[in-house]
Amino acid sequence: MVTAAREAKATIIESRFHQFSPFGISGVVVIAESHLTIHTWPEYGYAAVDIFTCGDTLQPSVAAQYVIDKLQSKHPSLVEMKRGLLSLGGEALPHKPLNGEPLIYDRSKELQMVP
């Protein structure tokens, strides 16, 4: 997961993993752009991975492909979800307000419904 974050050009802040007995791992890589997490159930041949990112330089698809390759996933299932504030009046939002002032706007126009 740490290497996946590096390959995606993420800024790694910290990582933490826990190995369960008799098997399985849960872990998080905290990145400046958000996080990558993994939870594994080796007894079922299953792993759940979340690559949650923001910004323009990070390449989440690179991280995803790295994890798929390293876990030798035979049946990967990828779902991309746009989260958070997506735009303001049709313009892309900056990662942080440019002038340090909080953004004030009506989110009801931008909320996504996910079935």
Catalytically active residues, by annotation: 34, 39, 54
| Range 64-92 burial, b when 16+ CB lie within 10 A, else e | bbbbbeeeeeeeeeeeeeeeeeeebeeee
* Structure tokens belonging to residue 57: 């330089």
CA 59/CA 62 separation, integer angstroms: 5
